[in-house]
A = this chain, B = another copy of it.
Amino acid sequence: MESVFEIIAEPNRRAILGLLVSSQQSVGEIERRLRMPQPTVSKHLRVLREAGFVESTVDAQRRLYRLKPEPLQELDDWLTPFRRFWSSHIDALERHLDRMDQSMPTKKKGRGRR
């Protein structure tokens, strides 16, 4: 499981990252909130830790896991050339913005184009 990409290919791992983005969590809290068996949580945390996505500190019997930014920044960097690509394709960009509009709270819809 070399790359950043393989790490985040696993849905449960993405869920864990999504949890940790707001604040640090103990294994038990993750287990509870994601309704995942404890060994599964521990295993995924191990993978994430070894890949540098998270780090942990000891709090008595608990371990608190928190997010580390670097690996996801690497992913962000990888996207750079593609961003250049799609900003040159304005039509597709507009379709994308429309998608964002649709998923918005019907307030002040549309972006006044055309």
Contact = CB atoms under 8 A, between A and B. Distances in A.
User: Dominant SS at the A interface?
Assistant: helix
Interface residues of A, number: 31
A72 to B, nearest CB: 5
Contacts of A67: 82, 85
A83 B73 CA distance: 8
Interface of A: 3, 5-6, 8-9, 11, 14, 17-18, 21, 67-70, 72-73, 75-76, 78-79, 81-86, 89, 92-93, 95-96
Return the 9 tightest CB-CB contacts between A and B, nearest first. A69-B86, A9-B9, A69-B92, A5-B9, A6-B9, A72-B82, A21-B85, A21-B81, A73-B96
